[in-house]
């Protein structure tokens, strides 16, 4: 698989949270795969959230120097900047899908970077937003059939829109 994968804050944080054994192992497996295959992407917003969370909210937290080393390393993933096109796209997503403002910016960043997958625990697993599919990295194995998790589409919850098919008069007379 060569699709780009956007990584949300929670995956980065769990990769450093020793108190969350199972989630840490899963996060580390995803991070390792994405580094190895050079397919990881993120945003400046995510990196900011990561830095604050691991230095101020984890117990024990990372030193500011270690956290900054992580952030600097992730610069190679070409994080999406917070700029007017991101804000415009985020506003469209917020209105269309009723996402929180912060989630809409994450999805917008994934879209602008051409990512096919958004790894996040914070949004509905399997949800699709304009070509970006949300996948919960803690329910999905890195070695799972990638073609399946990339194309898996949940059944529609609503009938299709548009006019009903027209029946010919001849078919109704029979």
Q: What digits encode the pLDDT tens for the residues 93-117?
A: 999 999 999 999 999 999 999 999 9
> pTM of the predicted model, to two decimals?
0.82
Domain boundary assignment for the chain: 4-156
Identify the residue with better confidence: 153 or 99: 99
Q: How far is the CA of 112 from the CAs of 50, 72, 97, 98, 161, in angstroms?
A: 20, 21, 17, 19, 28
* In the predicted structure, residue 43 carries a pLDDT above the cut 70: yes
- Alpha-carbon span 69 to 130, nearest angstrom: 33
- Alpha-carbon span 50 to 67, nearest angstrom: 8
Q: Which two tokens stand for residue 15?
A: 């990769």
What would the mean pLDDT of 138-145 be, rounded to a whole number? 76
- Alpha-carbon span 118 to 102, nearest angstrom: 14
* In the predicted structure, residue 26 carries a pLDDT above the cut 60: yes
Report the pLDDT value the prediction gives residue 145, as an integer from 0 to 100.
43
* In the predicted structure, residue 172 carries a pLDDT above the cut 70: no
Report the pLDDT value the prediction gives residue 1, as an integer from 0 to 100.
52
In 3D space, the residue among 128, 125, 132 whose CA is nearest the CA of residue 109 turns out to be 132
In 3D space, the residue among 3, 66, 74, 78 whose CA is nearest the CA of residue 35 turns out to be 74
What would the mean pLDDT of 18-26 be, rounded to a whole number? 94
Report the pLDDT value the prediction gives residue 148, as an integer from 0 to 100.
44
Report the pLDDT value the prediction gives residue 142, as an integer from 0 to 100.
80
- CATH fold for domain 4-156: Rossmann fold (3.40.50)
**Segments in the chain forming alpha helices (H):** 9-14, 21-37, 44-52, 64-74, 84-97, 101-112, 146-151, 169-173
């Amino acid at each position: 698989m060569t699709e780009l994968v956007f990584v949300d804050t929670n995956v980065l944080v769990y990769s450093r949270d020793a108190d969350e054994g199972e989630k840490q192992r899963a996060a580390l497996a995803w991070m390792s795969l994405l580094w190895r295959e050079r397919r990881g992407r993120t945003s400046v917003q995510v990196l900011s959230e990561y830095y604050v969370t691991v230095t101020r909210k984890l117990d024990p937290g990372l030193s500011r120097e270690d956290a900054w080393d992580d952030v600097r390393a992730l610069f190679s993933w070409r994080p999406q900047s917070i700029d007017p096109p991101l804000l415009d796209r985020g506003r469209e997503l917020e209105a269309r899908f009723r996402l929180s403002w912060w989630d809409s910016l994450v999805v917008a960043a994934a879209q602008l970077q051409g990512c096919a997958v958004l790894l996040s625990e914070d949004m509905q697993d399997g949800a699709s937003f304009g070509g970006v599919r949300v996948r919960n990295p803690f329910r999905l194995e890195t070695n799972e059939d990638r073609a399946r998790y990339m194309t898996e589409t949940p059944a529609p919850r609503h009938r299709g829109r548009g006019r009903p098919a027209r029946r010919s008069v001849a078919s109704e007379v029979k």
